[in-house]
Amino acid sequence: MSIDPYAGNLDFWEKAAATHGVDEDSDHYRFDAVIAGGTLMTPTEQRAVATATGGTDDDPLAGVRGKDVLYLQSHLGADGVVMARAGARVTCADFSATALRRAQELAAQVGVQIETVETDSRAIPESLHGRFDLVYVTVGAICWIDDLDRWMRQVSLALRPGGRFVMVEIHPLYQMFLKTSPEVVIDFPYGGGASLTDTDTGSYAAPDAEWTSTTTNYAHSIGDIVTKAVRAGLRIDVLEEHVTSDIDPRGDSSLVRGDDGKYRLLIGRGNEEGSQPEPLPVFLTLLATKV
Ligand SMILES: C[S@@+](CC[C@H](N)C(=O)[O-])C[C@H]1O[C@@H](n2cnc3c(N)ncnc32)[C@H](O)[C@@H]1O
């Protein structure tokens, strides 16, 4: 039986939103850290926001104070709650009602207010148009989007002229690898919106969960991302490709952790027999401005 991709993805995210951050032994979504005054934003995410908003190394979120921030596809909302604590007026938008309820619960525990909007990110409501100084998107968002042109237009519609778009995403090259050991398996296309549908149990943050879902992911290349952002009326300021990562976003063994604690995508070998290859890109940071 075939399943509508949007319905299948929503089903997955409703189940994930009810499960993530619940198991106290999991390394993912450690809200106790946020409630204690910390953040789940990675150094890469903090640097991106600092660069876009005028934050500093010591206080990367200093620039969000007094700003209107849209956290698009916010999942459980932790980064939005942290930005609200830093003085931003934050709206979290997601298509999962359960995720938004969990985000409100976290905000209440931290003692900040956030607005939540249940919406398909390919068609945000007019009430969000032209309202934001910053649209923030991070890790694992655009792979759920079939029509990236339409999605980028929503980002552009949400921003005020001069508003900034910050996206930290999984690099499309890394996305292609199902696994890298004991053998390399590449099962995902590079771009053009091509899709892969899969039925699996659990999720990246709840691998032992017993629920099953059928999800569809879409491939967007670097060229797709840049072209569609520009076509939507965004000026690209920075496109940075990261060959090291502070986190292992998939929680599997496809990245190798070095002595410096950083994760790298290492395929094949270097010049010399037995030598390490040069690392391939794992993440990207896109900073853009609404013109
Ligand atoms: C991997 S999460 C993003 C990660 C998130 N930034 C975090 O820190 O946990 C992807 C999010 O996209 C949302 N999502 C997927 N497709 C969507 C759509 N078409 N419209 C709105 N939200 C969507 C999911 O509900 C989920 O919360």
Looking at the predicted structure, is the pLDDT value of residue 26 above 80? no
Ligand 1 centroid, distance to 270 Cα (angstroms):
37
Ligand 1 centroid, distance to 103 Cα (angstroms):
13
Looking at the predicted structure, is the pLDDT value of residue 83 above 70? yes
Q: What is the mean pLDDT of residues 187-206?
A: 94
Please answer whether residues 99 and 83 qualify as being in contact, where contact means their C-beta atoms are separated by less than 8 angstroms. no
pLDDT of residue 139: 97
Of 31, 44, 49, 73, best ligand 1 pocket probe by most atoms within 8 Å of the beta carbon? 73
- Report if residue 269 sits inside a domain: no
Ligand 1 centroid, distance to 96 Cα (angstroms):
8
Closest residue to atom 10 of ligand 1, CA basis = 141
Q: Which of 187, 189, 73 is nearest to 139 (CA)?
A: 73
Q: Residue 58: which residues within 8 A CB-CB, separation 6 or more?
A: none
Distance CA 190, CA 207 (A): 25
pLDDT of residue 167: 98
pLDDT of residue 1: 64
More confident residue, 116 or 22: 116
Nearest atom, ligand 1, residue 144 CA = 16
Q: Which of 119, 224, 122, 130 is nearest to 171 (CA)?
A: 224
- As a whole number of Å, the CA-based R_g of the chain is 19
> In degrees rounded to 5, what are phi and psi of residue 166?
-120, 120
Amino acid at 69: V
Peptide bond into 43 cis (omega under 30): no
- Report if residue 237 sits inside a domain: yes
pLDDT band at 207 (very low <50, low <70, confident <90, very high): confident
Amino acid at 188: F
Q: What is the mean pLDDT of residues 273-286?
A: 96
Mean pLDDT of the chain, nearest integer: 96
Closest residue to atom 12 of ligand 1, CA basis = 73
Give the start-end residues of each E strand in 16-158: 68-72, 89-94, 115-118, 132-138
Looking at the predicted structure, is the pLDDT value of residue 210 above 80? yes
Please answer whether residues 30 and 21 qualify as being in contact, where contact means their C-beta atoms are separated by less than 8 angstroms. yes
Nearest atom, ligand 1, residue 14 CA = 25
| Least-confidence region, from 21-35, 65-79, 105-119, 233-247 | 21-35
Ligand 1 centroid, distance to 175 Cα (angstroms):
16
Q: Residue 128: which residues within 8 A CB-CB, separation 6 or more?
A: 70, 91, 93, 117, 119, 157, 158
Where in the sequence is the domain holding 209, given as residue range(s)?
Answer: 5-170+191-245+283-290
Amino acid at 65: R
- Report if residue 108 sits inside a domain: yes
> In degrees rounded to 5, what are phi and psi of residue 250?
-100, -10
Q: What is the CATH classification number for the domain harbouring 18?
A: 3.40.50.150
Residue entry with tokens 């609200």 = 84
Total domains, the chain: 1
pLDDT band at 23 (very low <50, low <70, confident <90, very high): confident
pLDDT in tens, 142-196: 999 999 999 999 999 999 999 999 999 999 999 999 999 899 999 999 999 999 9
Pocket of ligand 1 from Cβ distances under 6 Å: 9, 13, 73, 75-76, 79, 94-96, 99, 120-122, 138-141, 144
- Report if residue 207 sits inside a domain: yes
Nearest atom, ligand 1, residue 71 CA = 6
- Report if residue 238 sits inside a domain: yes
CB-based burial, 142-172: b 16+ in 10 Å, e otherwise: bbbbbebeebbbbbbbbbeeebbbbbbbbbb
- Report if residue 273 sits inside a domain: no
DSSP 8-state class, residue 43: H
Ligand 1 centroid, distance to 233 Cα (angstroms):
23
Nearest atom, ligand 1, residue 145 CA = 19
Ligand 1 centroid, distance to 277 Cα (angstroms):
33
- Report if residue 54 sits inside a domain: yes
Percent of the chain at pLDDT above 70?
100
More confident residue, 251 or 157: 157
What's the whole-model pTM score? 0.97
Distance CA 67, CA 258 (A): 38
- Report if residue 202 sits inside a domain: yes
More confident residue, 279 or 182: 279
Strands 132-138 and 159-170: parallel
Ligand 1 centroid, distance to 236 Cα (angstroms):
23
